[in-house]
Amino acid sequence: MHISGALKTLSTTFLVLTGHYLYGQQPGHDTLRLDSARVRTLQNVTISAPEYKEVIPSQKLSGDQLKNLNSFSVADAIRYFAGVQVKDYGGIGGLKTVDMRSMGTNHMGVFYDGIQLGNAQNGQIDLGKFSMDNMESISLYNGQKSDIFQPAKDYGSSGTIYLRSRKPVFDSQKTTNFKGVLKTGSFDLIDPSVLIEHRLSKSLSYSFSSEYIYASGRYPFRYRRVLPGTKTVAYDTTAIRENGDIHALRLESGVYGNIRHGFWQAKAYFYDSEKGIPGAVVNNVWRNPQRQWDRNFFLQGSFQKNSVNGHGVQVNAKYASDEMRYLSPGPDELHIDNSFHQQEWYTSVANKYSLSRAIDVDLSTDLQYNSLASNLEGFIYPRRLTALIALAGAAQLGKFKMQASLLGTFVNEGVKRGLTATGEAAVAAPAKHEFTPAIFLSYRPFEQNDFSLRAFYKDIFRMPTFNDLYYTDVGNIRLEPEYTRQYNLGFTYRKNRKGAVLSEWQLQTDAYYNQVTNKIVAVPRGSGMYRWMMMNLGYAEIRGIDAVSDFAFSLPGNLQLNVRASYTYQKAQDFSRRQNPLLEGLSYGGQIPHIPWHSGSLISGIRYRSWQLNYSYIYIGQRYDNSANIAENYQQPWYTHDLSASKAIRLKGYRVKISGEVNNLMNQDYEVVLNYPMPKRNYKLILSVEL
Amino acid sequence: MRKLHLILLVLLAVSCRKDVELFKTGETVVDKPADDGFSGFYLLNEGSMGSNKSTLDYYDFSRGVYQRNIYGMVNPAVPKELGDAGNDLAIYGGRLYAVINVSNKVEVMEARTARRIGQIEIPNCRYIKFDKGFAYVTSYAGPVEVNPDYTQKGYVAKIDTATLKVVDQCVVGYQPDCLEIVDGKIYVVNSGGYMGGGSTNKYERTVSVIDLATFREEKKIDVAYNLHHIRADKRGGLWVTSRGDYKASPSRLYFIDKTLQKVTDTLPVAVSNYYLDDDLLYLYSTEWSYVTYSNVITYGIVDTKTHQVISRVLITDGTDKQIEIPYGIMVHPVTKDIYITEAGNYVSPGLLYCFNKEGKKKWVVRTGDVPGHFALLPK
C-alpha cells in the first residue's frame, strides 16, 4: 500500500506524541489530595465530568432508571431517546440498528467503554447484540461528546452513542463482588449470567462477566386486513415466527488500575453466536432457512493521566477481529455460504493542555488499520489505513461556553486480488483527505436560574464502506464520502423544588436542520433485476425537534415517582433528483423511508420501600416504507406498553431481586420493518442474586 | 398521582388504532375506449424482493381505464395477497397464470376476473409456457450436488392444468430462464446466473432441448454466456438473448435454426428484453457504461424474416431520454401501439407508457413497483 507524504508526517507526529508521553512525564507530588481526586475521577469517568456542564445536546440513561427498563438489549433501551429511530427486525436475535436524526445508520458512532465499535464492511453496528446485563450507562450525543479530552475518532461521527459497561466499585471493606442473574420467559428464553469483581490491591481491580443466551425465538404473530369501506375481515392469519433462534455466549474481562493523577484499564471481549435469520414474511413463505454465525473478539486498553501542570494525556489502543458466516442453505432458494473476516488495529493519543483556567486545547492523533477477507467469489481483499488528527478547544468565558474542533481525516486504501478471475482489474479507491469543523456554544443568561441556551454546527462525513467500494459486482471505487451538515439550536432548563411534591423537573429541547449530501444509494445497473451500482446520488434535508423532560415526584408515604417523557418531530425529506421527472414527482420531498413524523416515549418508575413498579411506553407514528409517500407504502403507527414489578429482598447477606415483566401489554400486532412482524404480548422473569 | 392517572388515561385512549385495510384498487382513465380485438391486458409488477409487493394491474380497452392493484380486492381472503417477486405472466385456456418467484408458486386465476382458482407449488419458479393442456415451468431449484462446491441444476416442471399438480420433472442446466415450445420440443435457456458472478466461464451458455413426448433432455445447443429470453417467430425460428457477463462479452441476440438445431446467426445488438409481433422483434437494451457511470439505453426493431436491424428507434418524441430503466415491453397486435414500462430504481412505483406506432407518447400511468410482464386478454 502506498502511504502518502501526509500520512507519513502524521504517523511521525503520532510516534512523537506517544514518545512525549512515555518519557516526558514527571512524577507528581501532592499524593494524598490528588489520590482522593483520582478516585472520584475513576467513578465519574463514565461520560463527562459533572463540573463541566454539557454544551452539547445529550441524553443519558443510567443507574436505576436503566436497570428498571424492560430492555433486553441496548437497542431496546435506545428507543427511549429522542431523535433516534431503531430499525428492529424483531425477536431476540433480530438485527437492530440505530439512526440518529434521520441521517442514516452509518453516520452513527457507537463506543463501547470508550473505544469505537467498528464495522468497515457495512458500517452497521447491531445493537441487538449488546446485552443490558452488564451495562451501566448509555449516553447519546448529537454532534460529539462535550469533553474535548478524547480520541480523534470521537469527533468523527454525526452522532455518538457511548455504552459503558459496569466497572468494579467496592464498599468499604469488601474485596469481592458477585452477581448472578437468571432471565427466562417468552421465546423459550434462558439467559444466565455471572459477574465477579475482585479488588487485587488498593489501586488494582479485576472483573469477569459472562452471559449465555438461548432463545427459540418462536412467537405468534398475526396479520389481519379488512376491506376498505365495509371493514369486514378480508383475512386474519396467525402464525408462529420460525428460525429466530439464538445461541450466544459473551465473555468479558477487565483489569482496572489507578495511578497517580490517572487510571488505566484493559479489557477483553468475546462474543460467539449462532442464530437463525427469520427473514421477511411474504405470501406462501412462512419460514426462511438462513443462518448466521458471529464471532467477535476485541482487546482494548486505555490509559489516562489527568491534567498536572496543565497537561493531560490519554492513550487508547484496540485490536478487533470480527468473523461472520452467512448461510442460505437452499435448495428452494439461492445457496450462499459466505464467510467474512474483518480485523481492526487502532491506536490513539490525546493531549490536553490548559492554557488558562478558562481555556483548554486538545490535540488527538489516531491511526487505524482495517482489513476484510472473504471466501466470496470475485472478492477483492480491501485494506484501509486511516489517520485522524483532531485539534479542539474549549473555553468558558463568563456566561459563555464554547467548544470548537477541526478534524483531519486521511484515508489510504489498498487491495489484494482474492478470488477474482485473472485479467480483471483489482483497483483500490483513491486516497482521500477531509477537513471537517464543528463548533458548539452554550450561554447561560441568568445567574439564579438553571437555564441555558445552546447551539452547534457540525460538518462531518462517513466513508463509503468496503461493501460500497469493493463488493463483487456492486461496489464502486469512485465513491466519495457521504457528508452531513448539522445546525442545532436548543435550551435546557432545570428546576429544583425542595419539599414540593414535584421536587425536581427539567426540560431540554432542540430544534435542528440537517443536510445529507452525496448520499450513497444503490442504482440499478444494466439489464437484469438485482444488479446495482453504488452511487453518490442522494440528497436529504431533515428538520426536527427533540424534547426530553424529567420529573421527580416525592409523594406522601415514602413514595418516589420518576417520569421521563420524550418527543420527536422529524420532517426528513428525500430531495434526490431523478432522471424521470414523473418518478421524481412521486418521491421528491417525500418523507424518508421508516422515519415517522411523530414519535415519543415515556418511562415512569415508582418506588415504595423495596418494591419497584415501572411502566414504559413507546409511540411511533405513521410513516412510509418508501420516499414515494403513497398509500401502498403506508405503515401504521404502533405503540407498546410495557410493565414490570420487582421486589428486593435481603437474605443472609445476599441481595436478591425478583422481577417480572410484561411487554406489549396491549398485545398489539406491529412491524417496525416491512414484513418483519414483532412479538405480541410477552413475559420475562428475572432473578438476581448479589453478594 | 392525579397527573399520572391522567397520563395513563391519555395513553390508553390513544391506544385504539384503525384496522389495516387492503389496498383499494386505483382506477385512472388514461385513454378513449377502443375496440381492437382484445378486452384488455394484465401487467404484473414484480415488487422488490422481500417487500411482498408483487401486484397485478389491468388495462381495460373498452373503457380506457387503468386499474392498479386488483388482486387483493378480487381475492380478499388470500393472506398476504399475491406475493413476493412476480416473474412471469401468461394466459392459457381462459386462465391467468402468474409465476411468483420468492413465493414459490404459480398463482392460477380466471382470466376474465383474476379470481383465484388455486396455486401450483414450485420453488424458485421463473417462467411458464403451455402445450396441450400442460403447463411447463422453469425452476432454479433442481437436484443439489456437493462436489466439493455446492451446485444445483434447474428443471422444467410439467403441470396438468386440470389438476394443478406437477406430474413430471426434467432436469436441465444451471438456473434455467425462459422457455419456448416448437414442433414437439421444449427449448430452455440456461443462464448459470448464480454461478458466473465471480468468473465468466462459470456461466451457462446452452439451450436445453427437451422432447415433449418423452419429457427428457435430448441435447444442449451451445449459444453464449448467461442466456435469458427465447421466443419463436412465425416460422419457428428461435430468437435467443444473452445477458453477457457484464464485462467483456456483451449482451447479444442469437438465432437458432430449429431444423439444424444450432445457432446460425448473431445480431450485433444488445437485448435486455423484446417482444415479437408478426415478423417484427421490438427490443430495448440497458447496458452499464464504465465510461460515463450510467446506463446506456438503446431501442430497436429486427425483421425476423431478413434478420436485419431495421430501426434503432422506438420512441420518437424524446420521452426515451426520461426513462431510467425500461423493463417490460409489448406491442398491440392490431393497433401496433408500443407499451413500455419504466422500473425506475426497482424499489418504488414504476410507470407504464403507451406509444403509438409512430413512437409518440399516447399516455402514461403509474403502476406498482417494478412493472415487468404483460398478458393480453383476448375477447
pLDDT band at A247 (very low <50, low <70, confident <90, very high): very high
When pLDDT is averaged across residues A55-72 and rounded to a whole number, the result is 87
pTM over the 0.90 mark: yes
Q: Which chain A residues are closer than 8 Å to B150 by Cβ?
A: 330, 335, 337
**C-alpha Rg value of chain B to the nearest Å:** 22
> pLDDT by residue (tens digit) across B349-372?
999 999 999 999 999 999 999 999
pLDDT band at A298 (very low <50, low <70, confident <90, very high): very high
DSSP state of A129: G
Chain B interface disruption, residue of A529, A592, A675, most B CBs within 10 A: A529
Burial of residue B251 (CB within 10 Å: 0-12, 13-18, 19+) is buried
Q: Which residue of B has its CA nearest to A421?
A: B199
Q: Between the CA atoms of A330, A333, A334 and A340, what dihedral angle is there, to the nearest 10 degrees?
A: -60
> pLDDT by residue (tens digit) across A545-554?
999 999 999 9
Predicted ipTM of the assembly: 0.93
Residue A422's Cβ-side half-sphere holds a number of Cα atoms within 13 Å equal to: 0
- Sign of the dihedral through C-alpha A581, A583, A584, A586: positive
Residue A1 confidence (pLDDT) above 50 = no
Chain A interface disruption, residue of B201, B325, B354, most A CBs within 10 A: B325
Judge: A641–B15 Cβ closer than 8 Å, yes or no: yes
Chain B interface disruption, residue of A583, A669, A674, most B CBs within 10 A: A583
pLDDT band at A523 (very low <50, low <70, confident <90, very high): confident
| A514's grid cell | 440537517
Interface of B with A in 155-184 (CB under 8 A): none
Q: Which of A32-36, B83-87, B142-146 bottoms out in mean pLDDT, i.e. has the lowest?
A: A32-36
Taking the CA of residue A335 and the nearest CA in chain B, the distance in Å comes to 8
Residue A644 confidence (pLDDT) above 50 = yes
Judge: A337–B150 Cβ closer than 8 Å, yes or no: yes
pLDDT value, residue A424: 53
The more confidently predicted of residues A211 and A69 is A211
CB A197 within 8 A of CB A180: no
Judge: A639–B14 Cβ closer than 8 Å, yes or no: yes
pLDDT band at A32 (very low <50, low <70, confident <90, very high): very low
**Out of A332, A522, A527, closest to residue B285 by CB:** A527
Per-residue b/e over B23-58, b at no fewer than 16 CB within 10 Å? bebbeeebbeebeeebbbbbbbbbbbbbbbbbbbbb
Judge: A524–B351 Cβ closer than 8 Å, yes or no: no
pLDDT value, residue B209: 98
Interface of B with A in 181-210 (CB under 8 A): 193-194, 197-200
pLDDT value, residue A47: 27
Residue A403 confidence (pLDDT) above 60 = yes
| B116's grid cell | 383465484
pLDDT value, residue B290: 82
Residue B316 confidence (pLDDT) above 90 = yes
pLDDT band at B2 (very low <50, low <70, confident <90, very high): very low
pLDDT value, residue A46: 27
pLDDT value, residue A22: 36
**Out of A282, A524, A583, closest to residue B83 by CB:** A282
Rounded CA separation A634/A5 (Å): 52
In Å, what is the CA distance from B111 to each residue of B29, B92, B377? Answer: 22, 8, 7
| A166's grid cell | 459496569
pLDDT value, residue A56: 82
| A321's grid cell | 477481529
In Å, what is the CA distance from A96 to each residue of A73, A75, A101, A127, A577? Answer: 9, 6, 16, 6, 30
Q: Which residue of A has its CA nearest to B106?
A: A284
In Å, what is the CA distance from A593 to each residue of A540, A624, A672, B347? Answer: 12, 5, 11, 11
Judge: B77–A235 Cβ closer than 8 Å, yes or no: yes
pLDDT value, residue A53: 58
Q: Where are the alpha helices (DSSP H) in chain B?
A: 2-13, 71-74
Chain B interface disruption, residue of A480, A578, A632, most B CBs within 10 A: A632
pLDDT band at B245 (very low <50, low <70, confident <90, very high): confident
Q: Which of A467-471, B54-58, B326-330 bottoms out in mean pLDDT, i.e. has the lowest?
A: A467-471
Give yes or no for B147 touching A (CB within 8 A): no
Judge: B17–A604 Cβ closer than 8 Å, yes or no: no
CB A391 within 8 A of CB A363: yes
> pLDDT by residue (tens digit) across A574-611?
999 999 999 999 999 999 999 999 999 999 999 998 99
Rounded CA separation B369/A416 (Å): 39
Domains of chain B as residue ranges with CATH = 1-77+275-379 (no CATH), 122-268 (2.130.10.10)
DSSP state of B51: S
Phi, psi of A188 (to 5 degrees): 55, 40
> pLDDT by residue (tens digit) across B152-174?
999 999 999 999 999 999 999 99
Phi, psi of B303 (to 5 degrees): -85, 115
CB A595 within 8 A of CB A570: yes
pLDDT value, residue A454: 94
Burial of residue A499 (CB within 10 Å: 0-12, 13-18, 19+) is exposed
pLDDT band at A653 (very low <50, low <70, confident <90, very high): confident
Judge: A524–B295 Cβ closer than 8 Å, yes or no: yes
pLDDT value, residue B293: 85
Q: Which chain A residues are closer than 8 Å to B298 by Cβ?
A: none
Residue A141 confidence (pLDDT) above 80 = yes
CB A362 within 8 A of CB A391: yes
Q: Which chain B residues are closer than 8 Å to A337 by Cβ?
A: 150
Q: Which residues contact A131 (CB under 8 A, 6 or more apart)?
A: A72, A73, A74, A193, A211, A213, A250
Residue B4 confidence (pLDDT) above 60 = no
Rounded CA separation A380/A472 (Å): 8
Residue A413 confidence (pLDDT) above 70 = yes
pLDDT band at A133 (very low <50, low <70, confident <90, very high): confident
Judge: A234–B293 Cβ closer than 8 Å, yes or no: no
Judge: B21–A332 Cβ closer than 8 Å, yes or no: no
Give yes or no for B288 touching A (CB within 8 A): yes
**Out of A522, A555, A632, closest to residue B1 by CB:** A555
Judge: B17–A637 Cβ closer than 8 Å, yes or no: yes
Q: Which residues contact A127 (CB under 8 A, 6 or more apart)?
A: A73, A74, A75, A78, A86, A96, A97, A98, A110, A161
Q: Which of A38-52, A90-104, B59-73 bottoms out in mean pLDDT, i.e. has the lowest?
A: A38-52
Give yes or no for B84 touching A (CB within 8 A): yes
DSSP H or E run through A559: strand A559-574
pLDDT value, residue A418: 55
Give yes or no for B249 touching A (CB within 8 A): no
CB A390 within 8 A of CB A363: yes
Q: Which of A302-311, A355-364, A391-400, B29-38 bottoms out in mean pLDDT, i.e. has the lowest?
A: A302-311
Judge: A580–B351 Cβ closer than 8 Å, yes or no: yes
- Sign of the dihedral through C-alpha A481, A482, A485, A491: negative
pLDDT value, residue A449: 87
Judge: B20–A636 Cβ closer than 8 Å, yes or no: yes
pLDDT value, residue B14: 52
Q: Between the CA atoms of B260, B264, B269 and B270, what dihedral angle is there, to the nearest 10 degrees?
A: 50
Per-residue b/e over B288-307, b at no fewer than 16 CB within 10 Å? beeeeeebebbbbbbebeeb
> pLDDT by residue (tens digit) across A303-358?
999 877 889 999 999 999 999 999 999 899 889 999 999 999 999 999 999 999 89
Residue A564 confidence (pLDDT) above 50 = yes
Q: Which of A77-81, B4-8, B105-109 bottoms out in mean pLDDT, i.e. has the lowest?
A: B4-8
Residue B8 confidence (pLDDT) above 70 = no
**Out of A282, A581, A674, closest to residue B102 by CB:** A282
Judge: B103–A234 Cβ closer than 8 Å, yes or no: no
> pLDDT by residue (tens digit) across A453-463?
999 999 999 99
Judge: A377–B78 Cβ closer than 8 Å, yes or no: no
pLDDT band at A3 (very low <50, low <70, confident <90, very high): very low
| B56's grid cell | 397485478
